[in-house]
Structure 1
Amino acid sequence: MKTEMGHKEEERNSPELSTGKSTHRRAIQLISSLISLSHSVKVFPVKWQLIRNKLEELNSGLTAAQNGDLNQNSELWDLIPAMLLTVSECYEFARQCVNMSYSGKLLMQSDLDVVSAKFELHLKTLAGVCTIGIPNHSSVILVSRPGIGACQDDMKFYVKDLLTRLKIGDLEMKSQALVAMNEVVGEEFFLKIVVETDEIISLLVNFLDFAETEIQEESIKVISVIAGNDLCKSVLVGAGIIAPLIRILESGSDLGKKRAARTLQILTENSDNAWLVSAHGGVTALLNICSNGDEKGETIGPACGVLRNLVGVEEIKKFMVEEGAISAFIKLIRSKDEVSQINSIEFLKIMASGDEAIRQMIIRAGGIQSLIRVLDPKFPFSSKAREISIQAIESFCFSSTSSINILLGCGFLDLLLFFIRSGEVSVQELAVKATYRLSGVSEEIKKEMGDVGFMPELVRLLDAKSFEIREMAAEALSNMVLVPRNRRRFVQEDCNVCQILQLLKPEEGKSGNRKLLLSTLMSLSSSNSGRRKIVNSDYLKNLEKLAEAEVTDAKKLVRKLSTNRFHCILKGFWNS
């Protein structure tokens, strides 16, 4: 039998115990060294004094634990590596401050706030270990979630219990507490308690650097819900949430990356946070995700969304261009993931807005061809993607003749005509708008549109249900018949002229575009065949009634028709 002294000797010789003691001693030595270095820092004195106070408390606590029974507590040893990581991080900040080599005051102040919050968390965790030890899942009583109508005290007690589990529970207990936290933060009152409990926010931020993937992922999930409340965003940012989220983007799990990107997308809706993301290397991390073909679309989508939020800052936009964002996002337009497609198109559109140089870069990189591909009926793109594509094409191409020529060379007119004939209403409306805009560019384009077959389709749309479609179709048609070749083609079909005259019926409810229709008839009356078709139409009486009602354009048209050749036909109207 072993004596009591023999047992103690065996414990002292245990490799695990020896390693734990060694790490413990190293932590005390590094903290002492950092305290000494901090006295040499001359900048941000208030922040460094706060950090120094916390370091001294940590040093005292670890020293006390080293001299007591807790020196042999393996759970304490598990906490020390996290402390060492924070000490190492703070040591680098101290060195930069001493050498005045930090990149910016705001970034350094933010980093110091984050590291101070981490030391605070380590202090509270250490205090919990020293006071009550480390509970495990099998040794605690589980507090039930308060039901509907529970009093505020019960809710606060429940949140406090979750906090305790997060602070000093084992991994299983922490994970279950995070799941429970996710279930309650969606409720306004619970959310308020959680946010007002500073320790919880600090813990959640600290958990993002945990090695355990499950803890990371569940923590981001809670944080994402909290970030969805506008009043809570500043609390998260102030607690230093940006930097660890970006670290997860760089090296986290697929689920962690997706949740981190979604959270950053929410936080960067406030443009004030854009610089923080950029300062911590977030732009590069996000571009890497979007450029990496191995990344899942569900991660690329929100990553695109974050970059779209950041591109409004001119300096960040320039950096994105230098890092190859344009080619990366043009490639993404061909992605099979709809969210990635739409976000990439919108991102490029925002980048090019008001910036001719970037617009030309997008065009030279093949942006027009990629957008045209989205419109090709042979490919199964969604209506939403096609809507965004048409809008982007208008933004990129319609302001210069050279861009329009590239567009027409890619078969854009045929695609527009296809969607005018058979597209969903939302796509059709955008196609009609693009047609109307193109019809006002040049005579050559009007001729091409007439040759392709736009005019019969525009006549059909003059009676569409949508007022916007009717008006744009009428304006496009009015522009197109200014070209003699188009007028000749138009009047060859009797139904075209009759349709316009029929829509001029005074009591017709769809006559809001009457001025444009009269303008079209005025152009058609420039030729003998056009005048003949108008005068011989069964609906000429509609025009006469408008003239009788003193509609100016109608009176002008009737006068034009009343030449010697047609005087006998119209003399009854003018003699009345």
Structure 2
Amino acid sequence: MGEEEQEQQQKQQTLQESVACEPSNLRQAIEVISSLISLSHSIKVFIVKWQLIRNKLEELNSGLMAVENCDSCENLALSSLIAAILVTVDECYDLARRCVDFSYSGKLLMQSDLDVLSTKFDRHVKNLTEIYSAGVLSQGFAIVVSRPGLNACKDDMRFYIKDLLTRLKIGDTEMKRQALANLHEVVVAEDDKYVKIIVVEVTEIVNILVNFLDSQDAVIQEEAAKVVSVVSGFDLYKSVLIGAGVIGPLIRVLESGNDLGKEAAARSLQKLTENSDNAWSISAHGGVTALLKICSSVESRGEVIGPACGVLRNLVGVEEIKRFMVEEGAISSFIRLARSKDEVVQINSIEFIQNIASGDESIRQIVIREGGIRALVRVLDPKSSFSSKAREISLRAIEKLCFSSLSAISILMNYGFMDELLYFLRKGEVSVQELALKVAFRLCGTSEETKKAMGNAGFMPEFVRFLDAKSFDVREMAAEALSSLLSIPRNRKRFVQDDRNIGFVLQLLDQQEETNSGNKKFLLSILMSLTSCNSARRKIASSGYLKNIEKLAEAEVSGAKRLVRKLSTNRFRSMLSGIWHS
């Protein structure tokens, strides 16, 4: 044994004896490590190796701080470890000074010494973990590091996260629970800052979180799932969670966790499947079956069903998974959920029905056969308490599912859809009202019978009312829809009965600034349809707006010259100029 090695052993033995009777040596170890960390920042050589050593020093320091109130004299293993740590820190100080002063003899030798030093610190961290795991560290002994205030510097935030990491690794059950709760608190309050530290800098936490999802302790499992749910909301970090193997544990939480854990796991999976990239991974771990079970169970809470529906909605784009869902009876389950009083459940289930039937006639028929149309129309009942958002989603789903089939439209009408659509055109909130107009516009183009029914129901006065709306798109849509309805003779007669209608259309045409606007084209189309009715033709020809129509014809506005020619019957020829002879 060389003199240097004997000297090191003697130094360690002396420190052991000192520490065994002096608890203050724990504070000394914390202070010298903190000082060494500061010194390491001034080192300009072997930067990567010193960064690794500094990371280990910070982890070790956090662990020692966590038991600063523990009487180290009561545990010989801890006393011995502190002694060993002080010896290694002394060695590290020596190497740090030589690196700062560039007084080392050779690069290769120094690199070797730093590698040995890094290994020693690794061993100290492992030994400290084992001591804590044996029960030395408990909540009663642990010093709680205060959470940094708002706008704290990044170093303080990083130190706090590393302290939580130590507690997650080596604390008892209660300490782990509290550390996870604190972690969830900071990622929610200042999500992007702390999440970045967790995922990019203190990366070990991600693996610990994934492992905790399989914890036998329900609270630890739940708290871990809540943190994962927050992290999974960041597109930049989803791949890190996937790489850590988070899918399988999340599905196991769905299968056997408590309600809050299941809710957090479902929310995580909903975020992780937003682009369907992870669909097959969900399926491979039995996730589709687990999710369908949640959605079909009458015992499941709405807070769990909502995001579970959302996950399945995200997965229907994969043909094989979609077929499996249909075979498992998913459609009837989701039609039942479309009647839910829980808005999230209702909206996600309606979107699921719409997505699974989109572009697939056989599934669309199953939806209709299982009562899907009736369930969607019930959401629109003005007497119900469903939200405006749910009604918007339902209107969109009805449009997607029904408007390509006359038989489906017939079913819609039998359930009173037209009356409810008209109600929202008249009295709906702005967002629902505009969507109702779009749906009514689409409905006009489905069949002649539908146009007749809409005319009888009273849609034309509502379309007239929208002709001078603030929104250009709304005005144009209303004009086109009205033009479509006026292609039916019975509707034209009804329209002309109100003297104000023709005058209003002519007035709007006169107010149009752009010569060739789309709205002007449809207003002219409305007037053109009305010319087949004698009384309407007389009113137009004798109105004070005729010259405006002639000017439009001279300007070659689409439809204007044709309208002038239509008006120029033998009876009215003398009233008009000769521009149509040009």
Contact 2:565/2:580 (<8 A) preserved:
no
> In the alignment, residue 568 of structure 2 is paired with which amino acid?
S
Q: Tell me by how many angstroms 1:227 deviates.
A: 1.6
Q: TM-score, normalised by structure 1?
A: 0.74
The alignment status of 1:301 with 2:306, answered yes or no, reads: yes
**Structure 2 runs not aligned, ≥5 long:** 1-74, 76-124
Residues 152 and 506 of structure 1: CA distance in aligned 2, closer, same or farther (over 3 Å): closer
Q: Tell me by how many angstroms 1:366 deviates.
A: 0.6
Q: Tell me by how many angstroms 1:281 deviates.
A: 1.1
Contact 1:329/1:348 (<8 A) preserved:
yes
Deviations 1:517-568 (A, max 9, x none): 1111112112322211212334334323323444342222122212111123
Contact 1:125/1:168 (<8 A) preserved:
no
Q: How many residues align?
A: 454
Shifted more, 239-248 versus 348-357: the winner is 239-248
Shifted more, 534-543 versus 146-155: the winner is 146-155
Which residue of 2 is the match for residue 530 of structure 1? 536
Contact 1:502/1:542 (<8 A) preserved:
no
Which residue of 2 is the match for residue 485 of structure 1? 490
Residue of 357, 365, 380 corresponding to 1:360: 365
Deviations 1:208-261 (A, max 9, x none): 222322212211122122222223222222222112211221222111111111
> In the alignment, residue 173 of structure 1 is paired with which amino acid?
M
Which residue of 2 is the match for residue 24 of structure 1? none
User: Counterparts of 1:278 and 1:575 in 2: how far apart (Å)?
Assistant: 72
Which residue of 2 is the match for residue 568 of structure 1? 574
Residue of 251, 263, 268 corresponding to 1:263: 268
Which residue of 1 is the match for residue 164 of structure 2? 162
Which residue of 2 is the match for residue 556 of structure 1? 562
User: Counterparts of 1:235 and 1:169 in 2: how far apart (Å)?
Assistant: 25
Residues 575 and 217 of structure 1: CA distance in aligned 2, closer, same or farther (over 3 Å): closer
Query: Which residues in structure 2 correspond to 1:128-147 (within 5 Å)?
Result: 128-130=129-131, 133-134=134-135, 135-147=137-149
The alignment partner of 1:235 has SS state of helix
User: Counterparts of 1:317 and 1:332 in 2: how far apart (Å)?
Assistant: 18
User: Counterparts of 2:252 and 2:182 in 1: how far apart (Å)?
Assistant: 25
Deviations 1:467-515 (A, max 9, x none): 2221111111111111111112211211111111111115557964111
The alignment partner of 1:462 has SS state of helix
Query: Which residues in structure 2 correspond to 1:238-253 (within 5 Å)?
Result: 238-253=243-258
Residues 423 and 187 of structure 1: CA distance in aligned 2, closer, same or farther (over 3 Å): closer
Which residue of 1 is the match for residue 408 of structure 2? 403
Deviations 1:186-227 (A, max 9, x none): 454543342244432222122222232221221112212222
Residue of 234, 239, 243 corresponding to 2:239: 234
User: Counterparts of 1:514 and 1:378 in 2: how far apart (Å)?
Assistant: 38
User: Counterparts of 1:363 and 1:266 in 2: how far apart (Å)?
Assistant: 30
The alignment partner of 1:312 has SS state of coil
Which residue of 2 is the match for residue 320 of structure 1? 325
The alignment status of 1:279 with 2:284, answered yes or no, reads: yes
Residue of 305, 329, 333 corresponding to 2:334: 329
The alignment status of 1:543 with 2:549, answered yes or no, reads: yes
Residue of 285, 288, 300 corresponding to 2:293: 288
Contact 1:330/1:344 (<8 A) preserved:
yes
The alignment status of 1:519 with 2:521, answered yes or no, reads: no
User: Counterparts of 2:255 and 2:337 in 1: how far apart (Å)?
Assistant: 20
Shifted more, 337-346 versus 271-280: the winner is 271-280
Contact 2:133/2:172 (<8 A) preserved:
no
The alignment status of 1:503 with 2:508, answered yes or no, reads: yes
Contact 2:404/2:446 (<8 A) preserved:
no
Shifted more, 147-156 versus 200-209: the winner is 147-156
Q: Tell me by how many angstroms 1:147 deviates.
A: 4.8
> In the alignment, residue 130 of structure 2 is paired with which amino acid?
V
User: Counterparts of 1:188 and 1:331 in 2: how far apart (Å)?
Assistant: 38
Q: Tell me by how many angstroms 1:575 deviates.
A: 11
Contact 2:380/2:420 (<8 A) preserved:
yes
The alignment partner of 2:335 has SS state of helix
Residues 215 and 476 of structure 1: CA distance in aligned 2, closer, same or farther (over 3 Å): same
Which residue of 2 is the match for residue 210 of structure 1? 215
> In the alignment, residue 247 of structure 2 is paired with which amino acid?
I
Which residue of 1 is the match for residue 4 of structure 2? none
Identity %: 66
Which residue of 1 is the match for residue 40 of structure 2? none
Which residue of 2 is the match for residue 412 of structure 1? 417
Q: Tell me by how many angstroms 1:285 deviates.
A: 1.2
The alignment status of 1:192 with 2:207, answered yes or no, reads: no
CA RMSD of aligned residues (A): 2.5
User: Counterparts of 1:189 and 1:423 in 2: how far apart (Å)?
Assistant: 42
User: Counterparts of 1:209 and 1:132 in 2: how far apart (Å)?
Assistant: 18
The alignment partner of 2:559 has SS state of helix
The alignment partner of 1:329 has SS state of helix
Contact 1:137/1:172 (<8 A) preserved:
yes
Contact 1:482/1:523 (<8 A) preserved:
yes
Residues 228 and 538 of structure 1: CA distance in aligned 2, closer, same or farther (over 3 Å): same
Contact 2:133/2:171 (<8 A) preserved:
no
> In the alignment, residue 171 of structure 2 is paired with which amino acid?
G
Deviations 1:351-407 (A, max 9, x none): 111111111110111111011101111111111111111111111011111111111
Residues 125 and 338 of structure 1: CA distance in aligned 2, closer, same or farther (over 3 Å): farther
Q: Tell me by how many angstroms 1:133 deviates.
A: 4.0
The alignment partner of 2:503 has SS state of helix
Residue of 433, 441, 444 corresponding to 2:446: 441
